[in-house]
Amino acid sequence: MMKSSEIRSTFINYYKKNGHTHVPSSNLIPENDNTLLFANSGMVQFKNSFLGLEKRDYVRAVSSQKCIRAGGKHNDLDNVGFTARHHTFFEMLGNFSFGDYFKKDAIHYAWDVLTNEFQIPKDKLYVTCHISDDEAADIWHRQEGIPKDRIFRFDKDNFWRMGDIGPCGPCTEIFYDHGARAGKESDPFKGIAAGEDRYVEIWNQVFMQYDETSPGVLKPLPKPSVDTGMGFERLVAALQGQFSNYDTELFAPMLDVASKIAKLDYVTDPEVLRSQKDIFERVSAMRVLADHCRAVSFLLADGALPSNEGRGYVLRRIMRRAIRYGRKLSTQSSFLTPMSESLISHMSDFYPELSTRKNHILSTIKDEENRFLQTLDNGTGILQDEIKKLKSQNQKSVSGETLFKMYDTYG
Ligand code: GLY
C-alpha cells in the first residue's frame, strides 16, 4: 500500500519532472485578500498571477496546499464527520500553468499521473467536461483514447469559481468509481449527476479563462491558464482501497488516540455502521474530532486565534463542535489536545510549522477546552433547573427563548 507521504511526493515529483516549480503551501489565512476567510484551494496564492497582476519567475507550479472549507460557498460544517469525505481541513494537490500550457498538456499530465504513476486502472475512471467545452471532450477522446461513453457533460458542475468574485472558468473533472459496494447506482452518468458517494471526484482541472469582477460579470483573463484541484484525502482513499477518507492512514493515528481514550472501538464495517445507530454515532463523533483536530491545529499554527468574530469565530466554532462531540464519547476526558499531539508528530515532516508552534497549538486548545467545558457545564445546570421548574408546572416543552440561550450562550 502506498503511504500518504509517498502519494504526496509522487505527485509533486511528477510535475517537477515536467518543468513545474514546487511552491510550498501558503498560509491558511490569505495575505492581502479580504474576499476569502481562508485559503480554500491551491489557486488562492496564485490569484494575482492568473489575473496578470503579478509576474513570477516561473510559469508552471505544483503545490500541496492547506485548505479550509467551513461554511460558506464550499462546505457545510454540520455534515462533517457524518459523510465519507466532507472535511473542514484538507490538502489540495495542484498543478498550475500561468499562461503557459493549456488544455492539451493539462489533460495529458492528469491522465498520465493517475494511470501510470499511481496505476489507477482506466476502467475505474470517468471524465466530465463543461457542456460548452467540445475542445476538452475531444482532447480526452482523441488524445487520451477515452471512449465517448465515459465522457459526460455538465453545466454548473463543470464551471469552477474561487468565490463570489475572482478567477474562474470551465473545468474538466475525473471521477473514481469505488464500485458496487459503495452505492447502488450502476449507471455512472446518473451516479455522478446525483452526487452518489460511489463516484468520487478526485480531480478538478480548471481552465482559467475569466475574471469575475462582480457576480455574473466575466472578463477574459490576459492569458488562459490552468488550475488543478485534486483532493488529496480522496486520492489517498482510492489508492489505499478505502471508501471513506477517514479510514485511510491519514486519519488513523488520531482515531487510535480517540478510541483509546474513549475505550471504544473505531468501527469501519459499513454494514455495522448502517444498521447500528449507536455505533454510527460514536464513530461519527470520533471522525468529527479527527477532522476538526486537523483544522484547529493547522489554523493555530498559521496564526488564527479563537475569538467571537471573523476567522477567529470560525475557528472557535470548529473547536467547540469538536469538544461537544468529545463529550458524547466521554464526559471525563479531553480528546482534542492528545489528538492534536498525535497529528503534530505525524504531519510535521511535510508541514514543519506544526512542530515549530506545537506549544502554542496545544496550550490554546487546552485553554479553549477548559473555558468551553465550564460554559457547557453551567448551561447543562441551567437547563436542568429549567426542566425541573417546567415539570413542576406540568409543562411539556421548553421555550424557544431558553433553547436559543442554550445554543448561543452555553454552546
Ligand atoms: N481550484 C480548483 C478546485 O478547487 O477544485
pLDDT in tens, 342-357: 999 999 999 999 999 9
Residue 273: band (very low, low, confident or very high) from pLDDT cuts 50, 70, 90: very high
> Using a 6 Å cutoff on CB, does residue 204 contact ligand 1?
yes
Residue from 353, 409, 361 nearest 381 by CA: 409
Q: Is the pLDDT of residue 316 over 70?
A: yes
> Using a 6 Å cutoff on CB, does residue 93 contact ligand 1?
no
pLDDT, mean of residues 266-292 = 96
Phi, psi of 65 (to 5 degrees): -100, 135
pLDDT computed for residue 25 by the predictor: 98
Q: Is the pLDDT of residue 247 over 80?
A: yes
pLDDT computed for residue 117 by the predictor: 97
pLDDT, mean of residues 189-215 = 94
Residue 67 alpha carbon, nearest atom of ligand 1: 4
Residue 162 alpha carbon, nearest atom of ligand 1: 1
Q: Is the pLDDT of residue 19 over 90?
A: yes
- Tell me, in angstroms, the distance from the centre of ligand 1 to residue 92's CA: 8
Q: Is the pLDDT of residue 299 over 70?
A: yes
What's the chain's average pLDDT? Answer: 94
Nearest residue by C-alpha to atom 2 in ligand 1: 229
Distance between CA atoms of residues 39 and 207, nearest Å: 19
pLDDT computed for residue 331 by the predictor: 86
Residue 143, Cβ density class (10 Å: 0-12 exposed, 13-18 middle, ≥19 buried) = middle
> Using a 6 Å cutoff on CB, does residue 11 contact ligand 1?
no
Sequence-ordered list of residues with C-beta below 8 angstroms from that of 196, at least 6 positions apart, any chain:
183, 185, 190
pLDDT computed for residue 229 by the predictor: 95
Residue 74 alpha carbon, nearest atom of ligand 1: 4
> Using a 6 Å cutoff on CB, does residue 171 contact ligand 1?
no
Q: Is the pLDDT of residue 405 over 90?
A: no
User: Of 83-97, 144-158, 177-191, 239-253, which gets the smallest average pLDDT?
Assistant: 177-191
- Tell me, in angstroms, the distance from the centre of ligand 1 to residue 208's CA: 11
pLDDT computed for residue 377 by the predictor: 84
Distance between CA atoms of residues 233 and 239, nearest Å: 10
- Tell me, in angstroms, the distance from the centre of ligand 1 to residue 103's CA: 16
pLDDT, mean of residues 163-192 = 92
Sequence-ordered strand ranges (E) for 24-182: 60-68, 89-97, 125-130, 151-154, 159-161, 166-177
Per-residue pLDDT of 71-125, as tens digits, reads 665 667 989 999 999 999 999 999 999 999 999 999 999 999 999 999 999 999 9
Instruction: Give the length of the chain.
Output: 411
Q: How many CA atoms lie within 13 A of 152 on its CB side?
A: 22
pLDDT, mean of residues 276-280 = 96
pLDDT computed for residue 72 by the predictor: 62
